[in-house]
Structure 1
Amino acid sequence: MSRIGKQPVPIPSGVDVTIDGQNVSVKGPKGTLELTVAEPITLARNEDGAIVVNRPNDERLNRSLHGLSRTLVSNLVTGVTEGYTTKMEIFGVGYRVQLKGSNLEFALGYSHPVLIEAPDGITFAVQSPTKFTITGIDKQKVGQISANIRRLRRPDPYKGKGVRYEGEQIRRKVGKTGK
């Protein structure tokens, strides 16, 4: 049995869960999220009201999908109750970010400003010209938009310039020695 998959997903008060075959819909104070789990995996409610993820047998694929499905369902419940936030920071002379409506505009050393539009369910907040946060209820969307923004100007291993996650340690390299 998968150690992660066998744990039931507790449902806090104020969260409404609907299970319809392979589909699960979670509605909470921050919004609604839906998920379709892979075919061999089944979802059910136990006597405590928690969601239990089951697999038909111990085939390798089913074992893999078991823990994954449980984690995805758990992420839905956490998303509609607490939400997810990614904090990011910018290093580099002249590199900055500002809020334009609900979108982010970056100055990252290119000849033009880079505009990132906020997808549905994602909000941006700028604390300073070099620090900003990405907030939403869908963990996958928040992580993907964070990775897309980081990809605009990856941290440089020589000087450390670029966009990075807050607290991320950049592996630095030693430059060439002059004659």
Structure 2
Amino acid sequence: MVKLSNITETIPVPEDVTVTIDGNDVTVKGNGGELTRNFNHNKIAISQDEENVIVSVAFPNKKDKAMVGTIRSHISNMIYGVKHGFTYKMKIVYAHFPMTVKVKGNTITIDNFLGERSPRLAKIIGDVKVQVKGEDVTLTGINKEHVGQTMANIEQATKIKRRDPRVFQDGIYLVDKTQEEIE
């Protein structure tokens, strides 16, 4: 088996976004905000030239090659997030018991889910903004992982247990993932 001597991935950086690399820490600043992340991996080197971020590894094995692609995707998502942002749209669905959804601090409270007396709670991760209008829930933020995890927390909070999900289809479900321009 012949090992490759070097794997290199380049990520173009737009003009209105600045990327700063300090060891394993990558900081991305744009008109939407600032994101910082530590990529601590022994063999992988992150560097930058005038207009690109370069992720490389020397003499990689299979896992190192996969990690280069993963880090490239994370940095690309950070750049896209501070430039455009991420918006997830969810829909509140109920048949018999109308549920009410409220945002209180960094938690989302779901009352009267399937007629239950105690409210269900979902945690908001990071600085994700949650808006509830009627049957629509909108999640916006610059960190794709925080927006996605908040969406998953809401879906898990309304997971139906001990009932047939084909009959009881109540819950809060993802309808649309979009990326919108930050002004």
Provide the TM-score with structure 2 as the length reference: 0.78
Q: Secondary structure at 1:142's aligned position in 2? A: helix
Q: Which of structure 1's runs of 4+ aligned residues deviate more than 6 A?
A: none
Provide the identity percentage.
Answer: 28
Unaligned runs of 5+ in 1: 169-179
Structure possessing the higher relative contact order (Cα contacts under 8 Å, 6 or more residues apart): 2
Work out the CA distance in 2 between the residues paired with 1:9 and 1:167.
27
Work out the CA distance in 2 between the residues paired with 1:83 and 1:76.
9
Q: Which amino acid aligns with 1:142?
A: V
1:19 to 10, 18, 21: 21
2:142 to 128, 137, 144: 137
Q: Secondary structure at 2:11's aligned position in 1? A: coil
| Alignment of structure 1 residues 25-174 onto 2, 5 Å | 25-37=27-39, 38-47=41-50, 49-92=51-94, 93=96, 94-100=98-104, 104-107=108-111, 108-109=113-114, 110-116=116-122, 118-128=124-134, 130-154=135-159, 156-166=165-175
Instruction: Specify the alignment match of 2:180 in structure 1.
Output: none
Report the structure, 1 or 2, having the larger strand content: 2
Work out the CA distance in 2 between the residues paired with 1:22 and 1:39.
10
Work out the CA distance in 2 between the residues paired with 1:125 and 1:14.
28
Specify whether residues 86 and 68 from structure 1 end up closer, same or farther in structure 2 by C-alpha distance, changes over 3 A only.
same
Q: Which amino acid aligns with 2:146?
A: K
Specify whether residues 161 and 17 from structure 1 end up closer, same or farther in structure 2 by C-alpha distance, changes over 3 A only.
same
Deviation at 1:59, TM superposition (A): 0.4
